């Protein structure tokens, strides 16, 4: 049963139910896979083999009695090391956090829901320091690499989760996304990643980046993401800004296809973004596929200029808030890029912040009007494929910061819309390409439904990475 790590969460559950194999078999297979690949990609900063096997044994007994605890009982899951997990220190990629200083006795809401549903926690996944940038390297845990070519970046900031899922080191992972941090690594690693509508998945403690930050599922298939959303979208009293409960399940909404949907296809945001030819070709093929499935597709562009300056005010101010209580000695330990943006963020005034918020509100209003005409917007997730590991920006990118090469992702954190990245091909070097589907606020189920329709009949990709691949 050494290939159980290749299965999706739904396939694992079907196997548990039929008795073909048990959660212990699956978790052992995943742990073996972690041991094989983690030294090459650095997806996990903490692995809890003993705890995972103990939880798997308990799950095996529940399935034997025909009494599973919930929707994902026995399914191996990983958690980005930004989210609290009871019994595990949450170090956020930072040398400024003392693992012995906290009690680590509380779960984030999404983690708590998974625990209630019987999920088996494999470990914590790597993140850049405090999740501040679109690639995954940190002073604490080093560089996380791409499953398809370890010389390349996996993206970020949920890069450890993306690499883990791509390599079969657990079919489900929790990521966070404040400017593309689920979707960017999903695109670079060839998996599915959803940034839900803000508030759809409760978040606690509140992010210093405010309402830009979302919790989202990272999986190998949209159907698994829907299953995970059915678990983690339950309300939690600790999130004061959480959305009302979803009417109906996300899994139940997968059927229906895309026939009759009105889809805007924007290959380059109206000519404002240079897109690598292989990326443009792959996303255009996906637009044609949507049309073949009965959608009404036309080229149309979101009605906004690039809002990067306003985003910088919001994001860099949040970064400054993250570190505002650090001592001078602790600040010396920070990622130099993070220290730089924190200094910039601390110089913004309240008026600067309010002006950026006004830009954000105008952007949300414009996209609300856009979706009166179109059900979905299709764009590339990222205009390029994965570049060299260990740097924030690729050679020739506009600007010094990661936002220069992610123009398709961060605007939809500002508008709080649901947006997903799904794999749609590879470039000539075999590197994955991602396409992004965006819907109006609260239309998360529609994004999942369209992605599921596009995936039908196409098995998830699986990079054949070994330790010798580096």
Q: Read off the CATH number of the domain in which 8 is found.
A: 3.90.1300.10
Residues 220, 171 contacting (CB under 8 angstroms): yes
As a whole number of angstroms, the distance between CA 284 and CA 299 comes to 10
Number of domains, the chain: 1
pLDDT (0 to 100) of residue 101: 87
Report pLDDT for 456. Answer: 83
Residue-level pLDDT, tens digit, the chain, 470 residues? 449 999 999 999 999 999 999 999 999 999 999 999 999 999 999 999 999 999 999 999 999 999 999 999 999 999 999 999 999 999 999 999 999 988 999 999 999 999 999 999 999 999 999 999 999 999 999 999 999 999 999 999 999 999 999 999 999 999 999 999 999 999 999 999 999 999 999 999 999 999 999 999 999 999 999 999 999 999 999 999 999 888 889 999 999 999 999 999 999 999 999 999 999 999 999 999 999 999 999 999 999 877 999 999 999 999 999 999 999 999 999 999 999 999 999 999 999 999 999 999 999 999 999 999 999 999 999 999 999 999 999 998 888 999 999 999 999 999 999 999 999 999 999 999 999 999 999 999 999 999 999 998 666 677 766 443 44
pLDDT given at position 306: 79
| Domain encompassing residue 181 | 4-469
Alpha carbon dihedral 195, 196, 200, 204, in 10-degree steps, equals 0
Q: Which residues does the annotation mark as catalytic?
A: 80, 157, 181
Q: Would you state the pLDDT for residue 304?
A: 84
């Amino acid at each position: 049963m050494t290939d159980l790590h290749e299965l999706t969460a739904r396939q694992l559950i079907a196997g548990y139910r039929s008795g073909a194999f048990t959660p212990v078999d699956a978790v052992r297979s995943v742990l073996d896979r972690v041991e094989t690949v983690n030294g090459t990609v650095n997806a996990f900063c903490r692995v809890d083999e003993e705890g995972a096997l103990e939880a798997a044994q308990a799950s095996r007994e529940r399935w034997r009695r025909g009494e599973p605890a919930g929707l994902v009982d026995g399914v191996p899951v990983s958690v980005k090391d930004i989210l609290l997990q009871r019994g595990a220190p949450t170090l956020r990629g930072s040398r400024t956090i003392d693992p012995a200083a906290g009690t680590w006795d509380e779960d984030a809401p999404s983690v708590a829901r998974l625990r209630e549903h019987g999920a088996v926690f494999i470990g914590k996944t790597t993140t850049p320091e405090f999740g501040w940038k679109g690639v995954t390297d940190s002073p604490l845990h080093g560089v996380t690499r791409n499953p398809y070519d370890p010389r390349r970046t996996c993206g970020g900031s949920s890069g450890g989760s993306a690499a883990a899922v791509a390599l079969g080191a657990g079919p489900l992972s929790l990521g966070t996304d404040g400017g593309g941090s689920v979707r960017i690594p999903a695109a670079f690693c060839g998996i599915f990643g959803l940034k839900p509508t803000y508030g759809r998945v409760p978040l606690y403690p509140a992010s210093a980046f405010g309402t830009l930050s979302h919790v989202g599922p990272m999986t190998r298939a949209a159907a698994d993401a829907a299953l995970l959303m059915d678990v983690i979208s339950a309300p939690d009293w600790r999130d004061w800004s959480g959305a009302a409960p979803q009417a109906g399940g996300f899994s139940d909404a997968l059927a229906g296809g895309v026939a009759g949907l009105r889809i805007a296809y924007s290959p380059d945001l109206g000519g404002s973004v240079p897109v690598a030819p292989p990326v443009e070709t792959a996303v255009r093929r996906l637009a044609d596929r949507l049309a073949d499935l009965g959608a009404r597709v036309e080229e149309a562009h979101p009605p906004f200029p690039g809002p990067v300056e306003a985003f910088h005010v919001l994001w860099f101010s949040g970064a400054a808030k993250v570190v505002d209580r650090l001592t001078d000695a602790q600040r010396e330990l920070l990622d130099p890029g993070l220290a730089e943006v924190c200094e910039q963020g601390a110089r913004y005034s309240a008026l600067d912040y309010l002006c950026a918020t006004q830009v954000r509100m105008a952007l949300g209003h414009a996209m609300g009007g856009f979706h009166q005409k179109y059900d979905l917007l299709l764009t590339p997730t990222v205009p390029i494929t994965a570049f060299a590991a260990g740097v924030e920006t690729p050679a020739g990118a506009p600007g010094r910061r990661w936002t220069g090469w992610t123009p398709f992702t961060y605007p939809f954190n500002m508008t709080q819309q649901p947006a997903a990245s799904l794999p749609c091909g590879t470039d000539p070097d075999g590197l994955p390409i991602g396409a992004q589907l965006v819907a109006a606020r609260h239309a998360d189920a529609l994004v999942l439904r369209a992605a599921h329709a596009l995936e039908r009949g196409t098995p998830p990709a699986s990079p054949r990475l070994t330790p010798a691949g580096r």
